[in-house]
Amino acid sequence: MIGLIDYGVGNLFSLASSFAAVGADAEIVSDADGLRRADRLILPGVGAFRDAADKLRATGLDRIVLEQTAAGKPLLGICLGMQMLFEKSYEDGEHEGLGLLKGSVRPIRDVIPTDYKIPHIGWNALRLTQPDCPIFRNIRDGDHMYFVHSYHAADCADSLAAVTEYGGELTAAVWKDNVFGCQFHPEKSGAAGLSILRAFCEVAV
């Protein structure tokens, strides 16, 4: 069972629908027992980093996520959920993340020209820097994904798996052992996005 972690941030309807579309058994989980029962975990997230990180801590699920990933369970963070995998974020101050991956979350403005619009919104192509990343099994370099974000992971050479070009290089996906992250929304990225979710369902546990 794929556990979609519900910690009160955002709507899981599209994610649940997209896993159903790839034939996966996905369930919305919101307590320690649910996270432990799942074979794989999805950490979603929208909105502000601080709110989301506070809510995850308030539910106590941050500790369960760390416990379960330490035990080898595959985890995929999506959008803000991916950003929370890192040590910290500089969105409106400085806030602590889960620290599963080395690096920090910084404004994309740091790496793109001033005449580029923020947020980075729309369909952009992936350049796979780790083509052997298991969740890329069914996609190709250059496939387009749907992005909506103003911040991205920086100093993350340790886990960088794909970038996208927007006047500069933005972090699009990360991978380290059993921890995966997508800055884009696979559940809104058409057939290519569903391919990523399908591949995540097939990652060896």
Partner 1 sequence: MITKRIIPCLDVKNGRVVKGVNFAGLNDVASPVELAKFYSDAGADELVFYDITASAEGRRLFTDILTETARQVFIPLTVGGGINTTEDFDRVLKCGADKVSVNSGAIRNPELVREAARLYGDQCVVLSVDVKRVDGEFRVFAKGGREDTGMEAVSWIRRCVDMGAGEIVVNSMDTDGVKGGFDLEMLNAVCEAVSVPVIASGGAGCAEDFVTLFKALPKVDAGLAASIFHFGEVKIADLKRIMAENGIPARIV
List C-alpha distances in Å: 47 to 83, 89, 150: 11, 13, 11
Element (H, E) at 101: strand 101-107
- Contact indicator for 127, 165 with CB cutoff of 8 Å: yes
Q: Which of 54, 66, 144, 202 binds partner 1 (CB under 8 A)?
A: 144
Neighbours of 121 (CB within 10 A): 12
User: Which listed range, 28-36, 62-70, 85-93, 120-128, lies at the site for partner 1 (CB under 8 A)?
Assistant: 120-128
Which member of 187, 196, 198, 201 binds partner 1 (CB under 8 A)?
187
60 binds partner 1 (CB under 8 A): no
The one-letter amino acid code at 14 reads S
Measured CA to CA, the distance from residue 75 to residue 148 in angstroms comes to 21
Candidates 25-33, 60-68, 83-91, 117-125; binding stretch for partner 1 (CB under 8 A): 117-125
List helix spans (H) across 4-60: 13-21, 32-37, 49-59
At closest approach, how far in Å is the CB of 144 from partner 1? 4
- Closest contact distance (angstroms) between CB of 191 and partner 1 is 7
Task: Name which of 45 and 181 has its Cβ closer to partner 1.
Answer: 45
Catalytically active residues are: 79, 185, 187
Identify whether the C-beta of residue 146 lies closer than 8 Å to the C-beta of residue 123. yes
| Of the candidate residues 24, 28, 32, 46, the single one contacting partner 1 (CB under 8 A) | 46
Summarize as ranges the residues that interact with partner 1 (CB under 8 A): 11, 13-14, 17-18, 20-21, 46-47, 117-125, 144, 146, 148, 165-166, 187-191, 193-194
